[in-house]
Amino acid sequence: MTLLLAGDIGGTKTILRLVETSGNSSLHTIYEERFRSGDFLDLVPMVQQFLAKVDSQIPQKACFAIAGPVANNTAKLTNLVWFLDGERLQEQLGITHVSLINDFAAVGYGILGLEPQDLHTLQAGKHNPEAPIAIIGAGTGLGQGFLIKQGQDYQVFPSEGGHADFAPRTELEFLLLKYLLDKHDIQRVSVERVVSGLGIVAIYQFLRDRQIATESPEIAAVVRCWEQEAGKQDKSVDPGAAIGKAAVEKSDRLSEQTMQLFVEAYAAEAGNLALKLLPYGGLYIAGGIAPKILPLIEDQTFLLTFSQKGRMRSILQDIPVHIILNQQVGIIGAAVCAARL
């Protein structure tokens, strides 16, 4: 038996999980706790407090998924004063091996630890276990990455594909591009500005300002409150979630149109990623948005737009497409990564 420590480190909250792994590579959770990240000056006292509650030995290995860039096993969190260094954590915590990985890389590892009930399959395709696996996930931003088979294991590679150019396909999307360029006085628009939680709000504002449909008082109040709180770190409302919920419930026409444009842009970018990787091992849709708007993705608009690539349509129709329902995929991935150290 090997004792592992897995962590999902965010600017707002941190999840720590103590895991036991046996020779058959199965992972068994012993204890888990959530912390407010801002209550601690560093990760070390948080982990020490966590381990003090567990009557067990110090873990042999640890992996922490970080919401931010990781280089040379070091990371500086965007919304915290923490600077994390794997070697320092090893010394101060007494853990033999400590690895820091990007949070979207953790999602990649997490795919390897998911169960069938953690997934919703949009398209079965023609699965090839030797082919690459692709990941795309809209949430706060737009993460992208991929896995490549090496021997019996997969190696996970994060990417910055979410910062590629937004590629409009319709007249309405070209107008959206022009709107965002003018509004933000910028030279280019990344796909992340459209396909993300903030992208949902941007699309809503575009359709509202162009008077495509009438606002409902309920959603208008949420969006106005969010606009007035611009610049504040802590927001009292989540307009993207409100718009998505209203669209699913069909209670607001402007929200419905917003989410239709969002889903199509999401699908088009997923198709672009699939063309570049040919992931017959599966394309996995991660992030917090997709499970919440599942009915909007299931209505075939997503798959039609995903495969709408001219002569390449038949290729994309053969790629398995899955939505990750388990929102703990990141902490699962950190545990899988720790087991491999």
Burial class (CB in 10 A: 0-12, 13-18, 19+), 184: exposed
The answer to whether 29 is annotated as binding is no
**What stretches of the chain show up as alpha helix (H) in DSSP?**
43-52, 86-93, 103-111, 171-184, 197-209, 217-228, 239-249, 253-277, 289-292, 294-298, 301-306, 313-317, 329-340
Going through 139-183 in order, the beta strands assigned E by DSSP cover 142-150, 153-159
| Residue 250 neighbours by CB distance under 10 Å | 10
8 is in an annotated binding site: yes
Q: Which two tokens stand for residue 94?
A: 């007494």
Residue 195 is which amino acid?
A: V
Q: Which residues pair with 144 in a beta bridge?
A: 136, 159
SS3 at position 15: strand
Q: Give CA–CA dist 153/18, Å, rounded.
A: 23
Length of the chain, please?
A: 341
Beta pairing partners, 190: 165
* 11 labelled binding-site residue: yes
Helices and strands (DSSP H and E) totals, the chain: 13, 14
DSSP letter at 53 equals: T
Q: For residue 10, say whether it is annotated as part of any ligand binding site.
A: yes
CB neighbours of 158 closer than 8 A, spacing ≥ 6?
102, 104, 105, 108, 143, 144, 145
Helices 103-111 and 329-340 sit at what angle, rounded to 10 degrees? Answer: 80
Nearest to 126 by CA among 256, 338, 294, 317: 317
Q: Does the annotation place 7 within a ligand binding site?
A: yes
Judge whether 9 is annotated as a binding position. yes
- Cα–Cα distance for residue pair 331/9, rounded to 1 Å: 9
Task: Please give the annotated binding residues, written as ranges.
Answer: 7-12
Task: Please give the annotated binding residues for ATP, written as ranges.
Answer: 7-12
